[in-house]
Amino acid sequence: MRLVVALLLMLAGSAAWAIDCDRSDIDVDMRRLMGGAENLCQTYGGQVMLVVNVASQCGFTPQYEALEQTYRRFRERGFVVLGFPSGDFGDQEYDDEAQIAKFCKVNFGVSFPMFGKSAVKGDKANPLFRGLIARTGQAPGWNFNKYLIGRDGRVIRHFPSDVAPDSAELRTAIDAALVGAAAREVTGR
């Protein structure tokens, strides 16, 4: 299946978008919010990703607006935001996924992909976050923690919650990743 995905991407005209899922940090199956499972590498491989643990009732929740604006600003260049609702910090996320989806759409017009509510820290962390934490040494300290992933599916950098999605620091890092100039800041590569 991975070979088919790589061949399809190459036939679409961009061999640079074909990645080795086995060597990526995103070769995991995750369930979409109110939907089925998908393999992140097969679906988003070749794009620059901003993986964010989100919550609907947090002081950082207004970051949804900047996340959506950042997504819209860069998506035509191969960028996507992936939202992962979690109640790990102060139980600030709704239990009902329909309520999460409605809250995000009505209040912030969220159109970027959202995934099912899951843990993002500790022993119960979902497989994506377990891998990102292991690779960076940085676990989410609160809601709206961010990991920037390169086109090769490997994590570039961790950003804590207080780094706004529309900050110059994060915009510069996204832009660099989109043009392939991002320096790999994670050790062990």
- pLDDT(3) > 80: no
Look over the chain and give the mean of its residue pLDDT values, rounded to a whole number: 89
Residue 32: which of 43, 21, 19 has the closest Cα?
A: 43
What pLDDT does 4 receive? 42
What pLDDT does 164 receive? 97
Q: What angle do CA 25, 80, 173 make, to 5 degrees?
A: 75
Once rounded to an integer, what is the mean pLDDT over residues 122-137? 96
- pLDDT(103) > 90: yes
- pLDDT(189) > 50: no
Instruction: Let me know if 58 is a catalytic residue.
Output: yes
Token look-up 């780094």 returns: 163
Residue 160: which of 142, 186, 182 has the closest Cα?
A: 142
Non-local CB neighbours of 61 within 8 Å, separated by 6+ positions = 54, 55, 143, 144
What pLDDT does 158 receive? 97
Non-local CB neighbours of 75 within 8 Å, separated by 6+ positions = none
Q: For residue 31, what are its two tokens?
A: 């369930």
What pLDDT does 19 receive? 87
Catalytic residue among 21, 41, 58, 104: 58
pTM tops 0.85: yes
pLDDT tens digits, 71-99: 999 999 999 999 999 999 999 999 999 99
pLDDT tens digits, 15-73: 346 789 999 999 999 999 999 999 999 999 999 999 999 999 999 999 999 999 999 99
